[in-house]
Amino acid sequence: MTHTSDRDAPTLPWFRSSYSSSGDGNDCVEVAIAPGSVHVRDSKAPDGPRLTVTSAAWSRFVSHSAR
């Protein structure tokens, strides 16, 4: 895991899952897909810390979470 730098943040295309809805549109996780990596951030703090994982690690996480 690594953290993305602030200079990378503006170029990443962030999106939220259509399943992320608690009535408050800002209460979810956002992801951005980049070549070889997936970036994750809290939608309530878009300028806050970001997590970067490999595409393979993200795929395993999503697969395990869907069970």
Per-residue pLDDT tens for 7-19? 555 588 999 877 7
How far apart are the C-alpha atoms of 32 and 14, rounded to whole Å? 5
Amino acid at site 6 = D
Strand ordering across the sheet containing 37-42: 15-16, 29-34, 37-42, 50-54
- pTM here? 0.72
Is the CB of residue 15 less than 8 Å from the CB of residue 40?
Answer: no
Q: What is the CA radius of gyration of the chain?
A: 12
The Cα–Cα gap between 62 and 44 comes to 22
pLDDT tens figures, 8-66? 555 889 998 777 666 665 678 899 999 999 999 998 888 899 999 999 999 999 999 87
